[in-house]
Structure 1
């Protein structure tokens, strides 16, 4: 599954939250993705989102694993779809996540990466896999900083 974060506008956020109650999140999200034009307010993590979640959480893909706010960088937050990952993080939570991500350095992330002990993790878990994870993490960190500065909520999708 490929992961993408979007910093949604207030109008998009309102429509998404309403769509959850009506069961139409998938169609609305597709429209948002197809029409995306906000430079710097989205970031693709390819398959690295998996390792990033595990490093920032409890080593698993459990959305409730790990401590807030780092746990909300990928899978923590409000789940909006039953069949795939569509995870919403409010603008207030985005500010918390952005602040905490700034404290994560390469040594800390490597220690967490090396501690992944979940047989469901499909990565090679070698130096190349870590560098791929680190590069994508740096992109996510910058993305959350921009989203926080813009006062936007974030939606993470993995399809």
Structure 2
């Protein structure tokens, strides 16, 4: 199955609510599907009940009330970078999975949002200040910088997803593919920073 990296805008106030109550992340990454939030809430409640039963020898019957996430205009706007996320991360950082902040934000930016699986692991939330720092760093990244970091041999050796780097560029322009999505990513992050928004990043 494909792994797609998605980004959603969120206010700092709502990010704080999500970090305090991780099932709420579904109201950001899938705001039109209450079923995912309800399922995550039920799973979290069952885990808590099991812990209390082990602790006190009796189940906890009270169900936690549903929580609303009051979204303001401009929140939960979304974009994705398709399967180009790993190649973009490699070119920004020169590493497969690590890198120096803030340019390693696709893999390590922000705080992990609990243990709620939203695809391939939990999502991460970045504050408006963190997004502003990323936007400032991306402002200095141009095509020449990215092309200098694009190196098919080590990218293939390091198993950079989706493993298309050794293809003939005349038939499959993998660098151009990454740059198309990098342009969309940079524009999205810049716009979020201008509006004072944070981000939720997830791999689905």
TM-score after normalising by structure 2: 0.65
Aligned CA distance change for structure 1 residues 35 and 119 (closer, same or farther; 3 Å): closer
Q: How does 1:32-111 map to 2 (within 5 A)?
A: 32-35=28-31, 38=74, 41-60=77-96, 62=97, 65-72=98-105, 74-77=106-109, 78-82=111-115, 83=117, 84-111=121-148
Deviation for aligned residue 1:40: 9.1
Q: 2: CA distance between counterparts of 1:51 and 1:121?
A: 7
Q: Return the index of the structure with the highest Cα Rg.
A: 2
Asked if the contact 2:7–2:80 (Cα under 8 Å) also holds between the matched residues in 1, the reply is yes
Q: 2: CA distance between counterparts of 1:134 and 1:85?
A: 26
Asked if the contact 2:9–2:78 (Cα under 8 Å) also holds between the matched residues in 1, the reply is yes
Partner of residue 163 from structure 2, selected from 123, 135, 138:
123
Larger deviation, residues 139-148 vs 125-134: 125-134
SS of the residue 1:46 aligns to: coil
Unaligned runs of 5+ in 1: 20-24
Alignment partner of 1:7 is 2:9: yes
Asked if the contact 1:41–1:146 (Cα under 8 Å) also holds between the matched residues in 2, the reply is no
Count residues in correspondence.
149
Alignment partner of 1:136 is 2:181: yes
Asked if the contact 1:85–1:156 (Cα under 8 Å) also holds between the matched residues in 2, the reply is no
Asked if the contact 1:57–1:71 (Cα under 8 Å) also holds between the matched residues in 2, the reply is yes
Asked if the contact 2:79–2:188 (Cα under 8 Å) also holds between the matched residues in 1, the reply is yes
TM-score after normalising by structure 1: 0.81
